[in-house]
């Protein structure tokens, strides 16, 4: 039963307003805060009860001494201000308590601090370096200039120069310096920074596990990790890591890159004097790089001399040897080892793609760096090919500036063993990112006919649907007239519009009956369209693919396939012709011969090798190509035993030349596309010259050193 109170007038009284919440009312009641703490204390009391009982007799014995340590202020028996000074017992107790609490704090901090499992990826990131085929540096990629070196490859004189400069007690200390940490703490409290006090172990921890923040928390964490790391890693491993992750200025991390940047040589070739100069940079490259200013030079010389003297003092450099180093080892002012941009970037692009794929490296692994990629690119051939195309470009701009602005040049040289020795990818990779040498843009045209010839010689022909193939030889005769209809065993071949398909020769010239060898030597097209039908278009595609062309470059299996509707890159066209020069054995074109990571070998898949055609077939194709070279370029042929052929296309949209000389095949293509409007090839309009004096052949001959 509830009692309701109503007003005398019969109305219900208004409810009392809720008191307005204040900061005090919102605060938790003290009992709520203390309750968990009291519970914990009660549990601890129960757990410690047995130990307390055992220690109680000793506590009674110590009680009188403890009472003496208890401060009584003002102190009895003293007068004036001395009454307020603690006794020596009280001072001792205070220091012991402080030491105990500090020890307890450090013990807890040590136990609570774990060595991170993930390294600072930036601190361990390295650059990738690419080398020419002769082993000289070509280019480098990556955000940082760093190459890790095993400690065994760093001379002892270099190691001890660094240790003398930074931490001579490295091999005996526990990974931290108590004196240095105290100094750092004093600076933090007194002046607001954390300078000084770091051992090499601590600096290594800061480099690879932490950041460069200057605060007390980071300094304490650094010290705890350094202690643990010193117990887990060998001193040599810590030193190796430090030498490979430290900043030396000039954009370099690690002693190897520093050695190259300041002295132009590997770290293994440094002497103690040069090492002492590099060690001085660890104190601050901006202040000690002697090439930056006169003040820097003075500081660098002073510290260099001090480091050498320290090496003598700790017994790592004899006085006699120290006497040799009286002249400061001036570093080079600048060192341009790498030629980045323009052509080298096209080479790097090809090599990096090949290395990732054939070394089975993920993008993340490759981007972390540290790889040395030894390419197949020949510096001399690359220079000659680039110069040849550049001259052709310049001549085109003078002759017809409007047409030349839309002209494109692709070029590649491939050896018979599959090595890509040179490419021309474009005028400048920074302006034109795609690679002309690897582009599948325009059809091969009549440059494809050697593959049709090889397919006929390899497989024979079928004039009927049944029965075995009839062998074909270089002397087999076909009709070389223009506009000869293409036939099948059932009769003429009709296209979808109901017209008979017929082949045409350049200039619509007729040659009458001609042998296949003569047809290839004289660039007669019509026999090869019919030969392709007789051999079987699938056999033609299979032979061209076995020789090096990619399946993706082939168009529909129609009669025009034999006259080059496929769109191979210059690399693949050069590779296909190289197969004939290699007696019919094809090696997949490759741009990297070896990969290492910080000197250790990385497994690299070998390029595929296969027999494309029989040796006698390859020889017959090569002989016909040599005939073609002699027929169209008699002056050059008088002194050069080359084999090659041009390639014309329908509607004059591209002109090719591919030839082999001294076991290297080079393919050149010139075409026009206005990329600002469409991807449709445009007529050359005379930009590529004539067959007898074509621009592609001119580039080929200059690049190959012919005539």
pTM higher than the cut 0.75: no
Summarize pLDDT for 237-249 with one digit per residue, the tens.
889 988 988 888 8
Distance of CA 706 to CAs 41, 81, 83, 622, Å? 96, 106, 108, 18
Which residue in 489, 563, 487 sits closest to 525, CA to CA? 563
Taking residues 302-308, report their average pLDDT.
96
Residue 352 exposure: Cα atoms within 13 Å on the Cβ side:
22
CA-CA distance, 629 to 356, in Å (whole number)?
A: 39
Taking residues 483-499, report their average pLDDT.
88
Distant-in-sequence, close-in-space partners of 637: CB < 8 Å, separation ≥ 6: 629, 630
Summarize pLDDT for 345-355 with one digit per residue, the tens.
899 999 999 99
Q: What is the CA radius of gyration of the chain?
A: 41
Tell me if residue 485 falls in helix, strand or coil: strand
Whether 154-324 and 445-564 share one fold: the answer is no
8 A C-beta contact, residue 504 and residue 482: yes
Alpha helices per DSSP H over 431-569 = 449-459, 516-521, 526-535, 537-547
Sheet containing strand 247-249, strands side by side: 145-146, 252-253, 247-249
CA-CA distance, 179 to 533, in Å (whole number)?
A: 90
8 A C-beta contact, residue 660 and residue 654: no
DSSP bridge pairs for 470: 461
- Please report the DSSP string for 24-78 in residue order: HHHSPPHHHHHHHHHHHHHHHHHHHHHHHHHHHHHHHHHHHHHHHHS--SSPTT-
- Best-predicted range by mean pLDDT (35-44, 116-125, 206-215, 471-480): 471-480
Q: What is the pLDDT of residue 663?
A: 96
- Report the largest interatomic distance among the alpha carbons of the chain, rounded to a whole angstrom: 138
Cis preceding-peptide flag for 74 (omega within 30 of 0): yes
Q: What is the pLDDT of residue 576?
A: 98
CATH code for the structural domain at 445-564: 3.40.710.10
8 A C-beta contact, residue 188 and residue 171: no
- Return the minimum-mean-pLDDT range out of 69-73, 144-148, 427-431, 581-585: 69-73
Structure tokens at 259: 């050695």
The mean pLDDT of the chain is 83
Does residue 334 register a pLDDT over 80?
Answer: no
Is beta strand 654-661 parallel, antiparallel or unpaired with respect to 643-648? antiparallel
Residue 343 exposure: Cα atoms within 13 Å on the Cβ side:
21
Of 1.10.3810.10, 3.40.50.510, 3.40.50.1970, 3.40.50.300, the CATH number of 154-324 is: 1.10.3810.10
Distant-in-sequence, close-in-space partners of 625: CB < 8 Å, separation ≥ 6: 450, 520, 577, 580, 643, 644, 645, 659, 660
Summarize pLDDT for 541-575 with one digit per residue, the tens.
999 999 999 999 998 899 999 999 999 999 999 99
Burial annotation 457-474 (CB, 10 A radius, 16+ → b, else e): bbbbbbeeeeeeeeebeb
Structure tokens at 92: 């001792």
Does residue 138 register a pLDDT over 80?
Answer: yes
More confident residue, 330 or 430: 330
Q: Is 551 left (phi over 0), alpha (psi -120 to 50) or beta?
A: alpha
Q: What is the pLDDT of residue 431?
A: 78
More confident residue, 123 or 27: 123
pLDDT band at 707 (very low <50, low <70, confident <90, very high): low
Q: How many residues does the chain have?
A: 707
CA-CA distance, 460 to 615, in Å (whole number)?
A: 16
Distance of CA 667 to CAs 573, 639, 689, 698, Å? 6, 21, 17, 12
CA-CA distance, 570 to 389, in Å (whole number)?
A: 14
CA-CA distance, 177 to 200, in Å (whole number)?
A: 10
Taking residues 502-510, report their average pLDDT.
90
Q: What is the pLDDT of residue 363?
A: 79
Does residue 12 register a pLDDT over 50?
Answer: no
Structure tokens at 231: 């117990």
pLDDT band at 606 (very low <50, low <70, confident <90, very high): very high
8 A C-beta contact, residue 304 and residue 277: yes
Summarize pLDDT for 206-235 with one digit per residue, the tens.
767 654 445 455 566 666 676 666 767 788
DSSP bridge pairs for 513: 479
- Return the minimum-mean-pLDDT range out of 116-125, 407-416, 665-674: 116-125
Quote the DSSP letter at residue 21.
P
Q: How many CB atoms lie within 10 A of CB 623?
A: 16
Q: What is the pLDDT of residue 483?
A: 92
More confident residue, 602 or 370: 602
Q: What is the pLDDT of residue 384?
A: 96
pLDDT band at 196 (very low <50, low <70, confident <90, very high): very low
Summarize pLDDT for 529-543 with one digit per residue, the tens.
999 999 999 999 999
Q: Residue 168 phi/psi, 5° resolution? A: -65, -20
Which residue in 519, 520, 531, 525 sits closest to 463, CA to CA? 531
Taking residues 54-70, report their average pLDDT.
70
Which residue in 649, 691, 638, 636 sits closest to 522, CA to CA? 691
Chain-centre distance of CA 374, in angstroms?
13
Distance of CA 365 to CAs 121, 130, 362, 506, 600, Å? 11, 16, 5, 53, 15
8 A C-beta contact, residue 670 and residue 696: yes
pLDDT band at 13 (very low <50, low <70, confident <90, very high): very low
Does residue 190 register a pLDDT over 90?
Answer: no
Taking residues 406-428, report their average pLDDT.
95
CA-CA distance, 200 to 176, in Å (whole number)?
A: 8
Does residue 309 register a pLDDT over 60?
Answer: yes
Tell me if residue 477 falls in helix, strand or coil: strand
SS3 annotation, 243-288? HHHCEEECCEECHHHHHHHHHCCCHHHCCHHHHHHHHHHHHCHHHH
Which residue in 428, 420, 393 sits closest to 573, CA to CA? 420
- Where are the domains positioned within the chain? 154-324, 445-564
Taking residues 654-678, report their average pLDDT.
94
More confident residue, 688 or 384: 384
Distant-in-sequence, close-in-space partners of 176: CB < 8 Å, separation ≥ 6: 199, 201, 202, 223, 226, 227, 230
SS3 annotation, 360-421? CCCHHHHHHCCEEEEECCCHHHHHHHHHHHHHHHHHHHHHCHHHHCCEEEEEEEEECCCEEE
In the block, tokens 């299979």 appear at: 542
Quote helix, strand, coil % in the chain, to nearest 5. Answer: 50, 15, 40
Chain-centre distance of CA 439, in angstroms?
22
8 A C-beta contact, residue 633 and residue 618: no
Taking residues 70-85, report their average pLDDT.
66
């Amino acid at each position: 039963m509830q009692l309701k109170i109503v007003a005398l007038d019969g109305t219900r009284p208004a409810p009392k307003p809720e008191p307005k919440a204040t900061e005090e009312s919102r605060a938790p009641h003290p009992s709520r805060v203390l309750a968990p703490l009291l519970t914990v204390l009660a549990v601890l009391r129960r757990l410690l009860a047995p130990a307390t009982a055992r220690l109680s007799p000793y506590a009674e014995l110590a009680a009188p001494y403890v009472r003496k340590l208890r401060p009584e202020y003002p102190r009895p028996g003293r007068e004036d201000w001395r009454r307020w000074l603690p006794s020596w017992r009280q001072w001792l107790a205070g220091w012991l308590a402080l030491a105990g609490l500090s020890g307890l704090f450090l013990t807890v901090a040590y136990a609570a601090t774990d060595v991170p499992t993930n390294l600072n990826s930036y601190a361990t990131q390295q650059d990738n370096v690419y080398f020419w085929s002769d082993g000289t540096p070509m280019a480098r990629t990556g955000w940082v200039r760093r190459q890790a070196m095993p400690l065994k490859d760093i001379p002892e004189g270099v190691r001890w120069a660094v240790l003398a400069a930074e931490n001579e007690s490295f091999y005996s200390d526990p990974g931290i310096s108590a004196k240095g940490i105290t100094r750092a703490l004093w600076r933090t409290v007194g002046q607001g920074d954390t300078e000084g006090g770091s051992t090499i172990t601590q600096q290594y921890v800061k480099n690879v596990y932490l950041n460069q923040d200057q605060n007390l928390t980071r300094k304490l964490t650094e010290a705890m990790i350094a202690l643990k790391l010193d117990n887990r890693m060998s001193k040599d491993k810590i030193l190796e890591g430090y030498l490979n992750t430290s900043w030396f200025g000039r954009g370099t991390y690690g002693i190897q890159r520093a050695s190259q940047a300041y002295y132009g040589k590997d770290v293994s070739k440094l002497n103690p004097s040069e090492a002492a100069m590099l060690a001085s940079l660890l104190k601050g490259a901006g202040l000690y790089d002697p090439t930056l200013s006169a003040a820097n030079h003075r500081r660098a010389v002073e510290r260099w001399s001090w480091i050498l003297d320290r090496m003598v003092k700790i017994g790592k450099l004899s006085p006699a040897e120290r006497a040799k180093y009286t002249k400061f080892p001036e570093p080079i002012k600048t060192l341009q080892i790498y030629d980045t941009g323009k052509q080298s970037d096209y080479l790097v692009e090809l090599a990096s793609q090949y290395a990732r794929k054939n070394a089975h490296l993920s993008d993340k692994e490759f981007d972390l760096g540290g790889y040395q990629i030894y390419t197949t690119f020949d510096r001399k051939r690359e220079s000659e090919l680039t110069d040849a195309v550049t001259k052709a470009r310049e001549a085109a701009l003078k002759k017809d500036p409007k047409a030349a602005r839309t002209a494109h040049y692709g070029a590649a040289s491939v050896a018979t063993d599959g090595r890509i020795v040179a490419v021309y990818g474009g005028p400048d990779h920074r302006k034109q990112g795609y690679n002309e040498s690897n582009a599948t843009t325009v059809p091969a045209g009549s440059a494809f006919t050697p593959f049709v010839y090889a397919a006929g010689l390899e497989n024979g022909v079928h004039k009927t649907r049944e029965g075995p193939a009839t062998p074909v030889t270089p002397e087999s005769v076909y009709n070389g007239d223009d506009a000869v209809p293409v036939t099948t065993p059932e009769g003429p071949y009709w296209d979808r519009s109901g017209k008979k398909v017929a082949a045409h020769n350049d200039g619509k010239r007729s040659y009458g009956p001609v042998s296949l060898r003569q047809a290839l030597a004289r660039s007669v097209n019509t026999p090869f369209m019919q030969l392709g039908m007789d051999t079987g278009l699938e056999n033609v595609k299979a032979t061209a693919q076995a020789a090096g062309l990619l399946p993706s470059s082939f168009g529909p299996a129609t009669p025009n396939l034999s006259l080059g509707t496929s769109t191979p890159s210059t690399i693949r066209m050069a590779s296909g012709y190289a197969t004939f020069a290699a007696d019919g054995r094809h090696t997949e074109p490759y741009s990297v011969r070896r990969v290492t990571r910080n000197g250790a070998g990385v497994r690299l898949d070998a390029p595929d090798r296969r027999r494309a055609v029989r040796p006698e077939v390859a020889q017959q194709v090569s002989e016909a190509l040599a005939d073609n070279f002699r027929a169209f370029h008699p002056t050059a042929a008088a002194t050069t035993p080359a084999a090659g052929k041009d390639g014309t296309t329908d509607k004059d949209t591209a002109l090719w030349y591919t030839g082999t000389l001294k076991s290297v095949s080079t393919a050149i293509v010139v075409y026009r596309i206005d990329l600002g409007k469409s991807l449709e090839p445009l007529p050359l309009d005379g930009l590529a010259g004539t067959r007898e004096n074509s621009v592609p052949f001119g580039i080929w001959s200059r690049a190959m050193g012919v005539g």
